[in-house]
Homo-oligomer: A and B are copies of this chain.
């Protein structure tokens, strides 16, 4: 089976490629080829038993998606995207990559004609306040960011191209990924990871919102689990409503920091101080906090068990078990 990952150089793309390389299979089928596409050279996963190709390109450029489809990938993970903060400041780039790029990919898939499984990483940014508590699966999409609008359009295209039989799509609305490893990216949600990642690495961190702020989160490992499950799920069981809010953990900043204290001790937890940033606080106040992700749970998608585990997974996967 040939697998294609767009945005294969991003954090989720890289972890997904590593996992597929380690497993050698995807939902029980042998992987024979992996293509990683991104705007910068993606890292090849170590130890893959199959050929891995990389391709540096921009999906929104004419012909590019068609070239990628020439290899007739049977499973496509479409992760390529401009993140929320950058899509908000660079309106043209956000629409070009997140909407034109996604549409170009769907058109290329339609032309290729073999209706592959397409896993589309959508986002809870398709929702905009005010919200019911929790947000049910049938709540409407009124995004308050361009990123959210672009993802919501992508979901509609995915569902319609699937309905027409051109693709076999599953859209998964990822919670905010926490703890995101590495350097901060341009997402406005970055501090949710920063206030844990930096202290665990021995660095002071600033929390720009009040401790009562709640948010909806999933670990990188849970996110990879969603991707793999979405790649193998029976489309008929999902039905025509192909976009699903993933299960996550609804936790407050206070609960996150309490978990950090339990798992890593006072020395680490004391590295966080509060310094309110009205701009960030105002953005975050428009974000969803809690979901009743019932359909996804019924379809077998699995959330992290608790937030202590989220922190332990980060220490295990990213820090080699060692806290600074």
Is A142 interfacial (CB 8 A cutoff)?
yes
Give complex CA distance A268, B289 in Å.
58
A160 with B143, Cβ < 8 A, contacts A128-B240, A153-B153 known: yes
Query: Are B91 and A164 in contact, CB atoms less than 8 angstroms apart?
Result: yes
Complex interface bits, A3-34 against B, C-beta within 8 A gives 1, otherwise 0: 00000000000000000000000000000000
| Nearest chain B residue, comparing its CB with the CB of A131 | B138
Is A163 interfacial (CB 8 A cutoff)?
yes
Complex interface bits, A99-140 against B, C-beta within 8 A gives 1, otherwise 0: 000000000000000000000000000001000100001111
Contact for A149 among B91, B139, B157, CB less than 8 A: B157
Give complex CA distance A137, B91 in Å.
28
Query: Are B164 and A156 in contact, CB atoms less than 8 angstroms apart?
Result: no
Give complex CA distance A138, B146 in Å.
20
Complex interface bits, A160-195 against B, C-beta within 8 A gives 1, otherwise 0: 100110000000000000000000000000000000
A194 to chain B, nearest CB (A): 27
Is A152 interfacial (CB 8 A cutoff)?
yes
Query: Are B142 and A140 in contact, CB atoms less than 8 angstroms apart?
Result: no
A156 with B143, Cβ < 8 A, contacts A91-B164, A128-B240 known: yes
CB<8 Å pairs between A and B, sample of 19: A128-B240, A132-B138, A139-B140, A140-B140, A141-B141, A141-B156, A142-B241, A143-B156, A143-B159, A143-B160, A144-B163, A144-B240, A149-B156, A149-B159, A149-B160, A152-B156, A153-B153, A153-B156, A153-B157
